[in-house]
Amino acid sequence: MPEDVQHAYAKSGDATRDLEAVISLEQPRINAELRRHTADLPEHARAPAEHLLLSGGKRLRPLLTLLTGRALGCGDESLYTLGAAVEMLHAATLLHDDILDSAPLRRGRTSAHVLFGTVTTVLAGDAMLAKALLLVSSFGDPKLTACVSEAVMRTAEGEIAEFARLRDTSVSREEYVRIITGKTAWMLRASCEIGALLAGAGQPAARAAALFGLEMGIAFQIVDDVLDYYPCEETGKPRGGDLREGKSTPPLLLYLASLPAEQAGRLRADFESGNLAEEDIETLCRAIYEGGYAGQAREPAGIHLAGAAEALAVFPPSPERDLLDKMRFYILTRTV
Amino acid sequence: MPEDVQHAYAKSGDATRDLEAVISLEQPRINAELRRHTADLPEHARAPAEHLLLSGGKRLRPLLTLLTGRALGCGDESLYTLGAAVEMLHAATLLHDDILDSAPLRRGRTSAHVLFGTVTTVLAGDAMLAKALLLVSSFGDPKLTACVSEAVMRTAEGEIAEFARLRDTSVSREEYVRIITGKTAWMLRASCEIGALLAGAGQPAARAAALFGLEMGIAFQIVDDVLDYYPCEETGKPRGGDLREGKSTPPLLLYLASLPAEQAGRLRADFESGNLAEEDIETLCRAIYEGGYAGQAREPAGIHLAGAAEALAVFPPSPERDLLDKMRFYILTRTV
C-alpha cells in the first residue's frame, strides 16, 4: 500500500470523514484505471461508456475490492484493475438500466439512452460487459470469472423481477429483499469476493467477504430506496423518482399499510395505473417522509449491517478492516 | 463418439446431404443441452430465451465446436456443453439485435422485442450472456473465458459499427469486411477455437482452428447478405430485409456502381433517406438478382473459404475434418 494511503487509512475519529478521505485518495487511481480500459472499447461504445463512467460516482465497488483484498493480505496493485472491471460491469448494467428508466415517466436526467439512442446504448453495454469480463479473465483464475459472471446474471435477474412487479403494491417484504439482492447486492458481493480471491484467501475468509458484500449491498439499496423520499435539500436530488417509475419500495408500502382502507385503495389505484400527478408526487413524498415511514423503512438496513459486521469479524484486524467497518456506518447514515 | 454418429460421419458422397445427416443427428443432443441450461435462467428471462433458442436454427456454432474439438482429438462429452454455451451467447446477441431490427421498417417477423418488450428483452439477453459465460467458466480454463469474452466484445463492436453506417452507401469493401468480421465471424472463430482448446490442442492447431472459424464466419455473412436478394421461392424467406433496414451490403453497392450517375444518385438518395416504397424494394431486389450483382457479391466468399481450407490443412486427417471441409462447400452454396 502506498505510504500516503497508509497514512489516510490510519486516521481515526469521524467515520464518514475518514472514509471520504480514503475515497478521495483512491479515486484518482481507480479513475485512471477506468479511463485506460474505457479507451480500449470499440469506437462507438466509448462515448456512452465515458458518459456514464467518467462523470462521477463514489467508486464504492472498486473500493470494496481494494479494501477487502488488502484486508486479506493482498498487496497486489492489480487490485485496481479488478476493481475497475467490477465498476465497468456495474456501469454496463446501468447503461441497460437507462433504457428502462427513460420510460415516459422519467424526468430531470439525461440518460445515456436519450443521448445515444437505444441501440447504441444496448450494444455499448454489451461491449462494456464483455470488456470487463475479458479483464477479469486476464487474471487467469476461473473462480474470478465465475464469480463475476454469476453476479451479472443475478443482477439481470433482479432487474427483470423488479420490472415485472412495477406498479404492483402487493410486493411482499421477502420479494422486495429478493429483488434488491439481485439488482444491487450480488455485484457488491462479487466486488468483495474477487478481492478475497485475488488475496488467495481460504474458504472461510472468502465466504465471509462474499457475505459481507451481500449484506452491505442489501443495506445500501434499502437506504437508497429510502433516500428517494428525502427532501431535495438533504440529498441534492429531486425526490419521488421511484413513485414516478412505479417502483413499490418499503416507504410507500409502509405508508399504504398505515392508511384507512378507502384512502389506501385510492392511492393504490392511482399509483398502479400511473395516474399520479406531479403535485401529488411531491405531496405524497412529504407525507411519507414527515410521517416517519422513510425512517421506519431504513431500520432493516441496520439488521443487514449487523450481519455484515459478523462477517467482518472473520477478517484479521487491519486498518482496512476498520475502514470496511466504517463503510457500514456510512451506508446506514448517508444522505447522498 | 457414439457409433451411430460415427457411422453418419463416415458417409461420403453429396456434401450437403452428408452434412445435413450429421446436423440432424447432433441437433437433438445439442438442443437437449440448450433446454437444460435455458431452464436454469432467471424466471422472466426464460420466455424470451426459449422463444429464440428453442424455435429452430441449424446450430452451426455448436456443430463447429463439436467437429473442431473432435477433429483435434477431444472425445469429451462436455463439448456439447461448450457448444450450447456458444449458441446461448449467439442467441443473447440476437435478442439485443432484435431491438435494432424492430425499427419501424422491420416487417413480417415477430421478434422477441415485440413479444416481450424492450426492457425484458435487453435484460434477458444480459442474463443469457452471463449464464453462457458462467457455463464456460465452469470448465476452469481462463483461456476459454477470454476467448468467448473477446468474441462477445467484437460482436458488439461489429453491430455498433454496422448501426453507425446504416443508410450510408459510402461503406468501403474494407469497412464491410470489418463490420461482418465483428458481427458474425468472431463468434464462429470462438466456436472453433474453444473446441480446439478443450481438445488441448497446441498453438498451431488452435490458431488454425481460430482462423478456420474466422474465414468461415466472413464467408457465411457474405452469403447471408447475398441471399437477402434471392427470390423467396429459393430461400423460403421474403427478400429485401437489408434494403428495408438500411444495410449497405455488396449486392446493393455493386448495383449502384453499375448505374449511370444520375440513376445511382436517385437510388442512393431514396435509400439513404429511407424513402424506398415497398414496391420499389421488390423491383430493386429483382434488378440486383437478375442483373447478376448478387452472384458477383458472392464471389469473395470463395476466397475466404479457400483461406478456411488452408487453415484446415493443419488438422490431422479425420472424418470430422472432412465434415468441416464439407461445411465450407455448404456455406458457399447454401440457399437457405
Whether B166 is in a domain gets the answer: yes
Using a pLDDT cut of 90, give the percent of chain A over it. 71
pLDDT of residue B2: 46
Q: Is B142 on the interface with A (CB under 8 A)?
A: yes
Note whether A166 contacts B: Cβ–Cβ < 8 A.
no
Residue B179's domain spans which residues?
Answer: 14-228+300-333
Is B236 within the bounds of a domain?
Answer: no
pLDDT tier for residue A221 given thresholds of 50, 70 and 90: very high
Q: Does B138 touch chain A (CB under 8 A)?
A: yes
pLDDT of residue B102: 62
pLDDT at A104: 43
In angstroms, the separation between the Cα of residue A144 and the nearest Cα of chain B is 9
Asked whether residue B292 is assigned to any structural domain, the reply reads no
Three-state DSSP string of chain B: CCHHHHHHHHCCCCHHHHHHHHHHHHHHHHHHHHHHHHHCCCHHHHHHHHHHHCCCCCCHHHHHHHHHHHHCCCCCCCHHHHHHHHHHHHHHHHHHHHHHHCCCCCCCCCCHHHHHCHHHHHHHHHHHHHHHHHHHHCCCCHHHHHHHHHHHHHHHHHHHHHHHCCCCCCCCHHHHHHHHHHHHHHHHHHHHHHHHHHCCCCHHHHHHHHHHHHHHHHHHHHHHHHHCCCCHHHHCCCCCHHHHHCCCCHHHHHHHHHCCHHHHHHHHHHHHCCCCCHHHHHHHHHHHHHCCHHHHHHHHHHHHHHHHHHHHCCCCCCHHHHHHHHHHHHHHHCCC
Into how many domains does chain B fold? 1
Minimal CA separation from B297 to chain A, in Å: 28
What are the b/e assignments for B267-302, b being 16+ CB within 10 Å?
bbeebbeeebeeeebeebbeebbebebbebbbebbe
Q: Test B134 with A150 for CB contact under 8 angstroms.
A: yes
pLDDT band at B12; cut points 50, 70, 90: very low
* pLDDT higher than threshold 70 for residue B103: no
pLDDT at position A1: 45
pLDDT digits (tens, 9 = 90+) for B251-263: 999 999 999 999 9
pLDDT reported for residue A109: 53
Mean pLDDT across chain A? 90
CB contact under 8 A, A119 and B99: yes
Whole-number pLDDT of residue B98: 77
Cross-chain Cβ contact B156/A123 below 8 Å: yes
Q: CATH code at B40?
A: 1.10.600.10
Q: How confident is the model at residue B267 (pLDDT cuts 50, 70, 90)?
A: very high
- For residue B133, give the nearest of A125, A133, A182 by CB distance: A133
Residue A162 has pLDDT above 60, yes or no: yes
Number of Cβ within 10 Å of residue A308's Cβ equals: 26
In this structure, are residues B311 and B215 in contact, taking their beta carbons and an 8 Å threshold? yes
- Grid coordinates representing B241 are 430485409
What's the confidence (pLDDT) of residue A237?
83
Mean pLDDT of all residues belonging to chain B: 90
Residue B51 inside a domain? The answer is yes
- pLDDT of B11 higher than 60: no
Which residue of chain B has the CA closest to A46? B157
Confidence of residue A120 (pLDDT cuts 50, 70, 90): confident
pLDDT at B116 over 50: yes
pLDDT band (50, 70, 90) for residue A3: low
Flag whether B134 is in a domain: yes
- Kindly tell me if the per-residue pLDDT of A296 is higher than 80: yes
Q: Do A145 and B141 touch (CB under 8 A)?
A: no
Q: Using an 8 Å CB-CB cutoff, list chain A residues near B94.
A: none
Identity (one letter) of the amino acid at A25?
A: L
Band (pLDDT 50/70/90 cuts) for residue B13 is low
B150 closest CB neighbour out of A43, A134, A156? A134
A334: its cell numbers: 448517508
In a domain, B314, yes or no: yes
- Measured between alpha carbons, how far is A213 from A208 in angstroms, rounded to an integer? 9
Q: Is the pLDDT of residue B121 over 90?
A: no
**Is position B31 within any domain?**
yes
Summarised one tens digit per residue, pLDDT across range A39-94 is: 999 888 899 899 888 777 889 999 999 999 999 999 999 999 999 999 999 999 98
Q: Which of B93, B119, B157 sits opposite A42 (nearest CB)?
A: B157
**Per-residue confidence at B109, pLDDT binned at 50, 70, 90?**
low
Question: What local confidence, expressed as pLDDT, does residue B5 receive?
Answer: 45
Q: Quick check: A2 pLDDT over 50?
A: no
**Exposed, middle or buried: residue A332 (CB in 10 Å: 0-12, 13-18, 19+)?**
middle
Q: What is the mean pLDDT of residues B317-327?
A: 95
